[in-house]
Amino acid sequence: MRKPFVAGNWKMNTDSHSSVELAKRVASGSSQVADQSVTVAVCPPFVYLQSVARALSTSSIAVSAQDIYFEPKGAFTGEISASMLKDIGCSFVLCGHSERRHVVGETDELINKKVAAALAGGLLPILCVGELLAERDAGQTEQVVNRQLKNGLADLSVEKVSAVTIAYEPVWAIGTGRTATPQQAQEAHDFIRKLLAQMYNERLAEEIRILYGGSVKPANAADLMPQQDVDGLLVGGASLNAEDFLAIIQAAV
């Protein structure tokens, strides 16, 4: 049985006050279900991670970073290591979010190093994969996801990969208001699970959680979650509104 998982990616939003307020509202509104019935995580910007982690320290909400650097320490100006994130109370980290891939220009190779560094530092990576609209239109969705998954998880043992969560986020659905249909999400998730079974084994594929992300809202969460291979949701815009995010969490229980 895979426990549902809902993560809220705040991207480059909130401030020192609103980040803590939002975290507290999410914690109090989900206290009956968080952890027992659904894993809930929030991903604040780096600068608010510590205050949000403090505000959530007595709750069952996990804290996730939005990114990480792969080196453990040293002369890497502006970067943040796994041990720093662990030190301030993070348990998860997004790796390869589409905005990192397509806005910042991160490659599969770099993302693989980040996933490996997160695991080595005791963090749980959420590896994001997903195709561009032009790639979907050209019938290349499976090819792209296959490449991102194989390269992103390269050289990691089965034991390591079992600590990874996958997020399927079609780029054309992120922040556009255009969600994948439940069938499109299920098809992609089924493909990913079968690919993981081939790459590792059936047991790992059955146990690993695959989240859907891309314009998830309270109104569509209830249609996406019942899909057999949709184990949870990675939510951007709607996670900035406590009521909406709490409604999405409820839809996942």
Question: Can you give the binding site for ligand PEP, defined by CB under 6 A?
Answer: 9, 11, 169, 174-175, 213-216, 234-238
Residue type, 77: T
Residue 88 β-bridge partners: none
Give 218 or 237: the residue with its C-beta nearer to ligand PEP.
237
Q: In the numeric block, which tokens belong to residue 109?
A: 């190779």
SS3 49: helix
Give 74 or 105: the residue with its C-beta nearer to ligand PEP.
105
Report in angstroms how near the CB of residue 48 gets to ligand PEP at its nearest.
16
Report in angstroms how near the CB of residue 5 gets to ligand PEP at its nearest.
13
Separation of alpha carbons 136 and 181, rounded Å: 14
209: left (phi over 0), alpha (psi -120 to 50) or beta: beta
Q: Which entry of 159, 169, 206, 207 is annotated as an active-site residue?
A: 169
* Helix (H) or strand (E) segment spanning residue 17: helix 16-29
Separation of alpha carbons 123 and 154, rounded Å: 18
Residues 6+ apart with CB under 8 A from 241: none
To the query of whether residue 189 is one of the catalytic residues in this protein, the response is no
Give 192 or 200: the residue with its C-beta nearer to ligand PEP.
192
Q: Which entry of 21, 97, 109, 159 is annotated as an active-site residue?
A: 97
Report in angstroms how near the CB of residue 65 gets to ligand PEP at its nearest.
14
Report in angstroms how near the CB of residue 159 gets to ligand PEP at its nearest.
27
Give 100 or 113: the residue with its C-beta nearer to ligand PEP.
100
So which residues are the catalytic ones? 97, 169
